[in-house]
Structure formats: C-alpha cells, structure tokens
Structure 1
C-alpha cells in the first residue's frame, strides 16, 4: 500500500496532548495507532534513530511530551515506563547510509523499518513532521510538531532520543577526542574545534558541509 494521508483518516489534534481525544482516535483503529519520530536528523555525526510506539491508553506514562522539552533524567525515567507498557519498534540509519541516500531518505526509510519492527501491526501510523514515509503498509498521517501534540509521537520521540544519546556516549569510547558523549554529534563550537584538530572520523556524515570542509573538500 502506498502511504498517504487520506481525508477519510485525517485525525485532528490540538496544540498539546489530549489523552481523551487521542484515546478516541486510537479506538477507531482497535487501539493499534502508532506514533513515529526520529532523533539525530541534524547532527554532523552518528546515526539517525527512529522509533514507533503503540501506547496502551489505559496505562499511559504521565508526563509524555516532546523529548526536547524534557530533562535527561525525565526522559530516562519515561523511557523505562514506555518500554514496560507499550509496543515499541526501533530502527536506525548509519552515517554511511545517510551519506549514500541523504538524510531525508535515510530517516524515512528507518521510520518504515521501525514500524515493521513492532511486534503487533498498527492500523494507523502518525508521523512527526511533514512527511509520511513511502513504503508503509498502513495508512499514515503526518503531524507538524506532533511530538508536542500527540502522546504516541511524544513517546516515540523520547525512545529515539534516549537510545541515540546512549549510542553517542558509547561512541565516545571508540572515537575519543570529539566530545560525542557531551554534544552527541551536533554542530556546536567544541565539535567544530575537534573536527579542525583531528579531522573527521568514521562516525561523521561526510555529506554534511562542515564535515566535508574539515576533510579538505570545500565544494
């Protein structure tokens, strides 16, 4: 099935999560409504990580919100609760895949794999942002700023963010000197300084201009 956002399935959300409204939407799909989000689209290094989450709307962790609005401690606590109470699928795309396919295509492909990794198949997929990934077997709807408006997308944003942060902390042991454990691969001044001093490593995205320039290719 070609993924789309057909008018028959348009789901309407407000500017903040609403459990009662979302529960009613999910009931239209026998509760099998998945939220999908990513972490790591913008960094210069590391993978992009995606997650798909089907919540149990009778057992929703309190405090779900856009992962960027939560402290690290709160994200970690909610991550454990989500993993214990919801169906979760996870997928990622490496820096090499990002370089070969471009960040948008790599992200959308990983989102499809995250949905396929769920141990139950959703009947509806809600995706943060503007794009519904091509290749879904379900109907999909995109939701701009969905991680702050929809609980299942918020849960996916938390799972993706926590897992990616953990991956970058581990990567710091294999690629010391870049500060991955601190900035997680984002383009902060300390990362730029490390790139200039050390040159890019195998975790860097060479298709991103700051990395190309540091590697000696300023085209």
Structure 2
C-alpha cells in the first residue's frame, strides 16, 4: 500500500495541475489515503484482504499510466482520458469522473477476480470489503462534484456539465462492477469466454468515458485579419 501511495504522490508532483490525468490522480490519491487510514483504524473486518484488493485495484490504474508514458497502448477504458488530457474544452470535473468511470467500471471487476484467485476464495468472501471500498468512493463523489463544478464565471457551461454528468452514477458503476466480477469468476474455467467478456467490458466502459469527456467549451478561434480592398476612384 505504501508503494502505491508513493507512486500517486510522485505523479501529483510531476504532472501539470491542469492535466486531465493529474486531476483524476488527485481525486484517487484522496480516496486511497482515506482507505489506508481505514485499514489502520479497524474499519475493515479483514484489513489485509481489503488492502490486497485495494492494491490490485490501484495497480491497474498505475499500469495504464506507465503504458501511456512509454507510448504503449492503454486499455480502451483509459484511452479517452489519456487522449484528451489537455483538451481546452474539457472541464476538470469531467476528467475526474472519466477516470473514476474507467477505474470502477472496468478495473474494479478485474481486481476482484485477481484478488479472489490470490486469496483462493469466491467473490462473496470479498463482498463486505468491496462494499466498504465502494462506500468510501461514493462518500467522496459529492465532494468531488462540489470542488470541481464550474464556478459563477463559467455559468455558460454549467447547464451542459450538469446535463452530461447527471447521466452517470458511481453507484450504478459500482453495481455493474460487482456483477461483472461475479460473471468473470463464473467464466474462469472457460478462458476464451472470460477474455471475450473482459474485452467487451473494456470497450463499453471506454465508450462511456468518451461521452463524459465531450468538449463543452472550446475557445473561439481568433478572427483572421482582413485587409480592406482599395476603393477605386471614379
């Protein structure tokens, strides 16, 4: 867990503040620090197992960061964020929720299955830990929206932001991740079907991410200088 936190803090120092990945990283670092505190405070009945799930979960995000930095292809769920991380028409709140969508909608399900394999237990044994991790995320979502929602000086985009992001729910994404994890666990003895489902999940979550990153306010181009034609004397 300490190594995961150290990586996120390093990214926070190195990435430009307005970079879309930096926006998500700040949010995720806050979540991970809250979970780390919860492990030490006795908020989880099986803290080692919950920490194992949290670490495997975080490592999928960090692997996507490494892939992008090295010019390798990132998972489809992360591709919209990395491709649009400096778009002038995308707001910080969109970056944060696009990252959460990728991480919850795709990575969480795979992290549950990987943890179950390592711990030699079915998903139901992790359900309590899964719920507590999800509760931490949901509790922070409202604060994230309040902190990153455009202020009064950006009222012209407030309505589009509200409309676009109101169609996405962390709770629904969490429920979908749990259903996907259970299905992947059921398919573990048919690797081809499991891989096909995981690929489809990756693509569908990536499509949602592209919608969340729809540009809402692109600066108008500067008008080109126009030279008036001379008026002929009559």
TM-score (structure 1 length as normaliser)? 0.26
* Structure that is richer in helix per residue: 2
Structure with bigger gyration radius: 2
* Structure that is richer in strand per residue: 1
